Amino acid sequence: MRIQAFQLAADSVAGTTQQSYKSAWKKWISFIDTYSNGPFTDKTLRQLSAHQLLEYLVMFVSYCAYDLQCNVRSIPSIMSAVRKGMLLRFVNCDVFDSDLLKAVKQGAARLPAPAHRIRLPCTLDMITHIVQQNTKPPSTTFQFMLATGISMGFYLCLRCSEYISKTIVPLEDPHQFLSSDVQFMLNDGSQTLIDSNLVQHHHWHQIKLVKFSLQHAKNIRRAYGVPIWFSARTPAGQDVPFVRLLYHWSQHSPRHRADPFLSYRTANGLTCLLYADIKKAIKASATIFGLDETWFDTHSVRMSAPTIARATNASPTVIQHMGRWQTLPAAMKYQQQSTRLNDSVLTMVSDPTLFTAEDVRLTQLLASRTSSTPIIRRF
């Protein structure tokens, strides 16, 4: 019965909130395992006295603020998530109402907040530079992988976890594309899809399109994949450079079907494209273009395409679809303004015919249901 109640409560919370709860709970368990005679279990937590639990929670606030160097403004939400986690595990949470714990949380909230984080999108020139520098002869397999990863992140508007690894050995349940998630369709009318690790048996002229199956994105329910595909040639018959780059990478990178798409095998084992590799390339590119490297990180690649699309006056729903954002406010956070966007707004508001004196008068008049005489709006 308790397990059912736990699962029901967990499922009732939005996916993004669940991730936040899990992160806070991991911090709490890591702390209590380290500073007690852990490892701790749910049963152990329930057996703690109120005094012991209060002591641990007070120490945990300091641990978050100083040892983990969390943003102090996030500590109240971390504590709320820990309380929620304890309630789900049937731990008595009366100590959260303690005046001592409240005072400690308020004191932590008054600590200096960290400097405002500036995170800006890469320009197309920055992306192009990274690709060109890493694909010109004589480029190594690793450099070619880096160029392919940057291109994928840009054109598919990906979060870093969706295409690169944070660990040298990939996790068992990775978010990034596996070799079988990237497929090429043959241009013979059969609509046959070839996994990317097997495409070396086919020439470029045989390729019609590339298809990505996005399986584990943040806003995609588990087991509900999202297919994304791009044609290999334009309507005028010209090669699409992005698709050709993917094809060449697939041809020259030895991989197994279950290996990450952005990896390759040698006698020494599997080499994956890492978060640190992308971050280093982006910051180096920013410096070359005279920009402050601290303004950019891996998420700057994801912000590029929606920012450029906004500058072309693409509709908000199109941009929302590009990045698979569930809500428009979430999508807007990843779009920056541009000169072209602001110029188009300036042109729009400079047209005297769009809102006239007649419009002003009409907004002040309300239709009367009892008299033929219009009623003047009162404020």
Task: State pLDDT tens for residues 47-89.
Answer: 889 999 999 999 998 888 887 778 777 888 889 899 999 988 8
For 315-338, letters b (16+ CB in 10 Å) and e give eeeebbebbbbeeeeebeebbbeb
Q: What is the pLDDT of residue 111?
A: 81
In which element (H, E) is residue 304 found? helix 299-311
Q: Give the count of beta carbons closer than 10 Å to the beta carbon of residue 222.
A: 8
pLDDT at residue 6 is higher than 50: no
Q: Are residues 228 and 294 in the same domain?
A: yes
- CATH number of the domain that residue 163 is part of: 1.10.443.10
At residue 199 the predicted structure's pLDDT band, cuts being 50, 70 and 90, is very high
Q: Are residues 289 and 142 in the same domain?
A: yes
- Give the count of domains, the chain: 2
201-221 average pLDDT score: 84
Contacts of 377 (CB under 8 A, 6+ apart): 363, 364, 365, 366
Q: Are residues 313 and 217 in the same domain?
A: yes
What is the rounded distance in angstroms from the CA atom of residue 10 to the CA atom of residue 249?
A: 41
- pTM confidence score: 0.70
Q: Are residues 181 and 60 in the same domain?
A: no
Answer yes or no: are the C-beta atoms of 81 and 57 closer than 8 Å: no
Q: Are residues 154 and 283 in the same domain?
A: yes
Q: Are residues 308 and 344 in the same domain?
A: yes
Of residues 19 and 187, more confidently modeled: 187
By the 10 Å C-beta count (0-12 exposed, 13-18 middle, 19+ buried), 166 is classed as middle
Whose CA is closest to 139, among 252, 242, 273, 240?
252
Q: Are residues 93 and 156 in the same domain?
A: no
Structure tokens, 63 = 């641990």
Answer yes or no: are the C-beta atoms of 365 and 375 closer than 8 Å: yes
pLDDT at residue 371 is higher than 70: no
Q: Are residues 71 and 208 in the same domain?
A: no
Note whether residue 366 is domain-resident. no
DSSP string, 325-352: -SSHHHHHTT----HHHHHHHHHHHT-T
Among 56, 88, 109, where does a domain finish? 109
What is the rounded distance in angstroms from the CA atom of residue 378 to the CA atom of residue 142?
A: 70
Q: Are residues 76 and 221 in the same domain?
A: no
197-209 average pLDDT score: 94
Answer yes or no: are the C-beta atoms of 243 and 251 closer than 8 Å: no
At residue 358 the predicted structure's pLDDT band, cuts being 50, 70 and 90, is confident
Contacts of 31 (CB under 8 A, 6+ apart): 56, 59, 60, 63
Whose CA is closest to 301, among 321, 316, 286?
286
> Kind of pairing, strands 226-231 and 263-266?
unpaired
Q: What is the rounded average pLDDT for all residues in the chain?
A: 86
Contacts of 136 (CB under 8 A, 6+ apart): none
Reported as a single tens digit per residue, the pLDDT across 233-289 is 999 999 999 999 999 999 999 999 999 999 999 998 999 999 999 999 999 999 999
DSSP string, 171-222: PSS-SSPBGGGEEEEESSSS--EEEGGGGGGS-GGGEEEEEEEE-S-TTS-T
Domain ranges, residue 151: 116-350
